[in-house]
Amino acid sequence: MRKSRVALILLSPLLLWLPSPARVVLHLLLFAHLSAWLYGVFAPNSRLFGPIFDRGSGKQKWVALTFDDGPSLDHTPLILDTLKEFGIRGTFFVVGAKAKAQIDLLRRIIEEGHALGNHTWSHPPHLAFEGVVGRRRIKEEIQRTASLLESITGRRCRLFRPPQGFKNHLILESCAEEGMVVVGYTARPPYHANGLPSSVLVERVIRDSGPGSIINFHDGWMPGREWDREEMRRTLSGIIQGLKEEGYRFVTVEEMVGRAESDDEA
């Protein structure tokens, strides 16, 4: 992919003097390449740059609830209370800087049996557009959070989800070098309710879920643009209750990855 991108960039000056039919062909090649690259960046489960774990085994009726962007004083305790009420575990993709500022909350997540994932140190919104010069920053964002989580849990965190799910080949390469699994998702409520009642969101997520689904919630987001806490709780509770009624059980992404690796070895 990188070699073809470099080749097209080097060929782009030909647009100035090539005959018209050749210019059209080169334009089409450039457009196709750019379209593919944008799809690879923005589609959360695109494998253009490397492997993405976006679903567990479809042979079992199980789902994983994941929560990005925390820990958050406003939302994490409510999420934890809801999960505890139903007796299930989730996977929290934490932002390192937030986790360091909320160590007690991070410890509660761990003590209550939930899994942790790495969601970078500072949640830079444009990390996938850093380019080659951003390789050092990408590695720093991943490694700082990995080191913090290891210092708290005593073991290396293997799960990583990039901010907004946006990625490029540098992010995938950095994760591979660190032995990390890049995690996508199958279904996701919006970042905030957008005026939709919880019943509509619950119905939408349950409809989009199936055996092996990974459901992506947000554990806080941007101040002033987050869900109303009670609306979020009702939505989360409704999704859990609805999926339970359909016979699903809830596991962590770690369990899904472990099962996939065991199946591969068998």
Q: Which of 75, 123, 218, 219 is catalytic?
A: 218
Angle made by CA atoms 229, 158, 140, in degrees to the nearest 5: 85
SS3 164: helix
Contact partners, residue 225, CB within 8 Å, separation at least 6: 191, 192
Closest CA to 191 of 161, 166, 219: 219
Reduced 3-state DSSP string for 124-158: CCCHHHCCHHHHHHHHHHHHHHHHHHHHHHCCCCC
Catalytic residue list contains 218: yes
The percent helix, strand, coil of the chain (3-state, each to 5) is 55, 10, 35
Contact partners, residue 256, CB within 8 Å, separation at least 6: 53, 55, 56, 57, 62, 64, 212, 214
- 128 and 166 Cβ atoms separated by less than 8 Å: yes
Q: Which of 54, 68, 69, 219 is catalytic?
A: 68
Burial category of 252 from C-beta neighbours within 10 Å (exposed 0-12, middle 13-18, buried 19 and up): buried
Catalytic residue list contains 126: no
Q: 126-143 burial by CB neighbour count: b if 16+ within 10 A, else e? A: ebbebeeebeebbbebbe
Positions marked active-site: 68, 218
